[in-house]
Structure 1
Amino acid sequence: MSGKIICYLDCVSPYSYFALLYLEKQRAALWSHKVEIDVVPVFLGGINVGSGNKPPWTLPAKAKYSTYDSARAKRYFGAPDIKTPDFFPILSLLPQRALVFIKAQHSQLFIQTFLDIFVDMWQNGLDVSKPELLGQVLKRRFSDSQIQDILRQANSPEYKQTLNDNTKEALDRGAFGCPWYWVTNTKGEEEPFFGSDRFHYMFEYLGLPWTDFELPPAKL
């Protein structure tokens, strides 16, 4: 590989959803340039505590602004149907631990399952922190016996620790929110990036031939 993007995401973050949608749309193009994508589940609550950050809805000015920003992001990333569920925010430990296990044991279904969780939480209003509702989401990809195994393993010491380790790794790399990225370029240099609107900076850092948007002049 000529470069690598490690992307730290949590299903509780709608901007993580936007980031994953965008990265998946660009995956084939990135692969053609020999850039690898590695999506890593983390616990955003732990990142907030570890970094001293506060969720935007807890600060009145940020909460007010996010109404406008999220509407713009939904349109741009092609997810206009998402809405904040009435049970938000959730404690995302269970779905994130389940995703850690799925990545380890069912890697071919990992990305699609992450997207399923985003869709069912943010578009269909399912509280995926509840085992029975997370199980409903998993039925799209897994058998009943596999779902039982996923939910059991999500509560095992091994996968609890793996999620903790992932979260600590993100914190050690400077994370204060999600989506957080750790990017390695062709020179072996590494830098962090944050948010769902910094991909042009990321592509420039990777030395990719990206195209900026262009504002044409008005026709006279």
Structure 2
Amino acid sequence: MGKKIECYLDIVSPYSYHAFSYLQKNATALADFGVEIEFIPVFLGGINVGSGNKPPWTLPAKAAYSKYDGQRAQKFFGAKFNVPSWFPILSLLPQRALTYIKQRYPKAQFESAFLKCFMTMWNDQEQLDISQPENLAKALSGVFSAEEIKEILAAAADPKVKGELSAVTEKAVKELGAFGCPWFWVANGDGKTEPFFGSDRFHFMWDYLDLPFENLKLKARI
């Protein structure tokens, strides 16, 4: 097994958006080091239920802290947005659609669709609730034709696609230990694998993959 990062993401998670954008930004460098990246849609609601975790907005202390941490993450990753008034959403429709797209279409098109879903929900001037079919269709426009979007939305209601998203989500919890998103399962190229959680653990990941990188360091006063 070579070096690989499996990224388990849900568009409802802004930290998944940060992780997705960061890995795409560094995709060329990672490929040069022989590291494969795979983005995998999961249902965060199912991960929370399966692991016994609770979303930050349901716990007062976590909710209060998130106001600070969210702004810090936006500054670090270069994405500026407000949390939509309709947040959170039930993300089953877009995650099922992305599950189908991943199976049916080329990798580049799948990743473009994932990015458009993230941006339509989080980073556009007109943020849209893409759990609604008409808004998901808008998010997918420009990546797919009108006929392809119609096909994708229909497929998202197919029991087989629903079951596939459910199975991947269950695997993330029961086999990979996931309790939130983004969740990473990383192979280091020496036959070993380990989990990583969150969008602020990449320095640990690079060290595990034995990649050259500069760690955070203070600048000395002049």
Q: Which category of TM-score, normalised to the shorter sequence, fits these structures? A: over 0.9
For the residue of structure 2 that corresponds to 1:213, the secondary structure is coil
| Contact kept? 1:2, 1:33, Cα under 8 Å | no
* Gap regions ≥5 residues in structure 2: none
Q: CA deviation at 1:136?
A: 1.0
Residue 15 of structure 1 corresponds to which residue in structure 2? 15
Q: In structure 2, what is the equivalent of residue 72 of structure 1?
A: 72
Aligned to 1:175: 178
Tell me the residue number matched to 1:85. 84
In structure 1, the partner of 2:193 is 190
Per the alignment, residue 161 of structure 2 pairs with 159
* 1:152 alignment partner AA: A
Q: After TM superposition, which residue ranges in structure 1, 4 or more long, deviate above 6 angstroms?
A: none
Aligned positions of 1:205-220 closer than 5 A: 205-219=208-222
Matched, 1:199 2:198: no
Q: TM-score, normalised by structure 2?
A: 0.96
- Does the 8 Å CA contact 1:101/1:150 hold for their aligned counterparts? yes
1:2 matched residue in structure 2: 2
Aligned to 2:45: 45
Instruction: Structure 1: state its 5+ residue gaps.
Output: none
| Equivalent residue letter for 1:145 | E
Deviation at 1:213, TM superposition (A): 2.3
Q: CA deviation at 1:72?
A: 0.6
SS at structure 1 position matched to 2:84:
coil
TM-score normalised by structure 1 residue count = 0.97
Q: Secondary structure at the match of 2:219?
A: coil
Spell out, residue by residue over 1:32-70, the C-alpha distance to the aligned partner (whole angstroms, 9 max, x if none): 111100100000000000000000011111111110100
Secondary structure (helix, strand or coil) at the match of 2:89 reads coil
Pair 1:96 & 2:99 matched: no
Give aligned pairs, total.
218
Contact 1:3 / 1:206 at 8 angstroms: preserved in 2? yes
Shift of 1:215: 1.1
Identity, % of aligned positions: 55
Which secondary structure state, in structure 2, belongs to the residue aligned with residue 36 of structure 1? Answer: strand
Residues 88-167 of structure 1 aligned to structure 2 (within 5 Å):
88-107=87-106, 108-123=108-123, 124-167=126-169
